[in-house]
Amino acid sequence: MNFLDKYVPYVKWLMILALVGLMGVFSACNTVEPSTVPATEAAPTATALPTLPPLSPEEAVSALGAQVLTALKAQDLATVAALAHPTQGVRFSPYAFVRDEDLVFTPAQLQGLFADPTLYEWGVYDGSGEPIQLTFAAYYQKFVFDHDYTTAVAVSVNERLGMGNSIDNSQEYYPGAMVVEYHFPGFDPQYGGLDWTSLRLVFQEFEGRWVLVGIIHDQWTI
């Protein structure tokens, strides 16, 4: 046995150990580290909004009445015209009893009334029987917004609040209508409530919606 043959077994074992070591290093280099990127969260499921119940006729006309009053207070007849009956227009009644002779204005006519200098005849004054000859602007001050009805003490739907000598025929004149009344029971205690006033807005159905067809002023009459 020569010198090299003596160390051959050791050399083989060293080579085997070196090979195993290399295989361990190679395996470590190719190990996939766990991802540190957070997993994509699932998209939240959309929550269905609750369905609101449809408005009752009383609720619908009450909401419309508030819009009309706000527009009247602002003298915004363009908005009133948009809420009016598109073909029949709006009838203006200075007292509770609605007459065929009461003036009617179409939506197109409504929009220019505040600037209209025409003296219209709106009916006759209670007590004197004299003709009510006023421009629309003057009629508005006396028979539409004589008080701020957006602050009315009482509001009703299809129930008369102001009681006087005049017959309220609004339900008969406007079949199937909803009448919203805005009422002040009085202003000066010395009159014992005889200075009450009301404004009634009359709505009728047209093509599935409520539209304004009448504006009625009411007060104590002789």
DSSP state of 140: I
Rounded mean pLDDT, 201-221 = 97
> What's the predicted TM-score (pTM) here?
0.77
**Residue 218 contacts by C-beta under 8 Å, 6 or more apart in sequence?**
95, 96, 162, 164, 166, 168, 197, 198, 199, 200
Q: Which pLDDT belongs to residue 100?
A: 97
Residue 35: inside a domain: no
CATH of the domain at 173: 3.10.450
What is the pairing mode between strands 131-134 and 154-157? unpaired
The yes-or-no verdict on residue 91 having pLDDT over 70 is: yes
Residue 206: inside a domain: yes
Quick one: pLDDT band at residue 173, thresholds 50, 70, 90?
very high
Residue 180: inside a domain: yes
> Quick check: 74 and 102 in contact, CB under 8 A?
no
Residue 48: inside a domain: no
The yes-or-no verdict on residue 20 having pLDDT over 50 is: no
**Domains held by the chain: number:** 1
Quick one: pLDDT band at residue 14, thresholds 50, 70, 90?
very low
> What does pLDDT average to over the chain?
85
Residue 45: inside a domain: no
Look at residues 91, 70, 78 and name the one whose alpha carbon lies nearest to residue 203: 91
């009445």: which residue's tokens?
Answer: 65
Summarised one tens digit per residue, pLDDT across range 37-77 is 454 555 556 566 666 678 899 999 999 999 999 999 999 99
Query: Distance between CA atoms of 84 and 107, rounded to whole angstroms?
Result: 6
Quick one: pLDDT band at residue 164, thresholds 50, 70, 90?
confident
Query: Distance between CA atoms of 186 and 153, rounded to whole angstroms?
Result: 10
Residue 21: inside a domain: no
Rounded mean pLDDT, 89-103 = 98
- Domain range for 159 is 57-219
> Quick check: 98 and 91 in contact, CB under 8 A?
yes
Query: Distance between CA atoms of 28 and 42, rounded to whole angstroms?
Result: 34
Summarised one tens digit per residue, pLDDT across range 192-203 is 999 999 999 999
- The gap from C-alpha 127 to its chain's centroid, in whole angstroms, comes to 41
Task: Return the bridge partners of 217, or none.
Answer: 199
Residue 24: inside a domain: no
Query: Distance between CA atoms of 162 and 155, rounded to whole angstroms?
Result: 11
Residue 80: inside a domain: yes
> Quick check: 110 and 80 in contact, CB under 8 A?
yes
> Quick check: 190 and 182 in contact, CB under 8 A?
no
